Structure 1
Amino acid sequence: MEFDNGKRQRIPNGQYFKSQVEAEQHCYRVANDAWRRECVNRLLNDPPEQLLPNFRPRITGNPLRFAERNMMFVAQSNVWGSEVNEQKIIQVIAMTFEDIEMLIGMLEILAFMNDYAKKLIGKYFVVELNSIFGLLSKLKDLNKEYAQLEYQDMLKEIDRLEKKYKFRFIRDKIAAHKDSNIDLKSYINIWNAINYISLNEYWTMFVTHVDKVLMKYYPNEKKIYFLMRQQPLEGAIATTSKGNEYIPFFGFEIIGCPQGRGLVAGHR
């Protein structure tokens, strides 16, 4: 290749493109390859803690994890039944927080996926965020002081965010439900609204709000359902399989890794 000043430079194979579009496609693939390697390194060397198997015993107040291996279920006596009360609502809010943390971990290690796949995870994220709002709306019916103070502040924030992103509309039309009475422009607007920035705005708002409410009204519930689950139980005896009480997703659990033989699946 000869420049205007008369200098020549040899361009290696694979770095010469016939059009701008071809060059951009190449850059797109190169960037994705780099991102994929980074995600693989993260998965191998520093995977999100919340996604790892329960190698050490942990406390959980999440009823969905009641029968998991190495999980010790702890909850107040008035949440074991179906009666709706403040403690039950806090327990389910904590469960929803845990679900969202799982989704965040998935996005961290699968960031190289195509945008549609990431937005599908984001769509479920929207459903969970709407669930938090619904639970807090139930809580305000049982806690009158909260209903008059912090809940009103949250409604103002929700109104501000809904004007920008319309997450309630997204939940009703394509997430929790699939409606067919939507035009193409609305589909485009909905899909564009599901992104890292919008999800993080809602999530940060709810985290801040819930923490404030827990510290003021429910410090004991905060400890049981939010704080205790974050740390493994040091010195506790690992529990074995809980038999038919729990059915793993694939019908088996990874139970060992003998030297030189790889993973062994333990069927129930």
Structure 2
Amino acid sequence: MTYRVRMSAEVREWLSTLLTQDPEKGRVIGEAVAVLFECGAETGPPLVIPLQSALRTQNPGSALDYCYRRVLQLLQQVRRDVADLATARKRRELQISRTGHEQDALVARRRYEELVREEERAALQSQRLQAKVDMFRVRKEAVKANYTAAQARREIDEALAAGGEPGVSERAVDDMTAAQAAINELLQVADDLQQELSDDAANEGSSELRLESADLRLLFAAESPDIAVLLVVGMGQDWGAWYDEALSLAQAELEREGDDFTDYDLATFLSEYFPGEETEVRAGAFRLIELNRAQEIGP
């Protein structure tokens, strides 16, 4: 399945500027974006990586925050489902009160009783999931604090070692190992919770277009099975620190999505950014697709 692509004003301006300043690099990035048009959600690693996976290696603390935002979004959908059942039940109550025919009233009453049971089950499920999400939030903050402290101790030891003092202490190594293990365990909890909240959770959320040869990261969200929204781009960054700001920017872009976004299909994208080079860019995209399938994309 192919994608249509929706680009924020920031990404459009960035790409236009890059094509002016460094046409060769802009062309390579255009080929990578063209892969999204051609392959859509079927594009996989190493060119496209789920954001949650990227964060685990680059910024574990941000990975936990991202997971928490995801489970909150999914929990909101569970609450909406409960509200929809309540609305359906009230409508059925009204129908029963207006039904004069005995047989029709009996059928309506049976459906009403089914809706009551469904609503009760859904409400209990929502409460149970809310408790799990609250517990995850508390654990998340504690684990992040421990990880930050362990990281600081290791950095102090490394700084002392650089000045001629003894190297990283065994305690610092053990603390860092334990902190990382705690993060990994909690990330697994988050995965399980997301799956419990939504059977489709693994296919939702944001991803990252990563092109190592251009030192590029481009965050995008699959708004629907056939639309990708390009949100935030970075090149040549300290990636661990970059994600903190990029995630906030991406969330803000999604919340205000509207007139600042432009929709493209592959033809309009190529004609706007690569006029006269459409055939060459598409050929480059197909080369990337083959390399990606062979897992051979790299620096």
Same-fold status (TM-score > 0.5): no
TM-score scaled by length of structure 2: 0.30
Choose between structure 1 and 2: higher helix proportion.
2
- Larger RCO (alpha carbons 8 Å, 6+ apart): 2
TM-score scaled by length of structure 1: 0.32
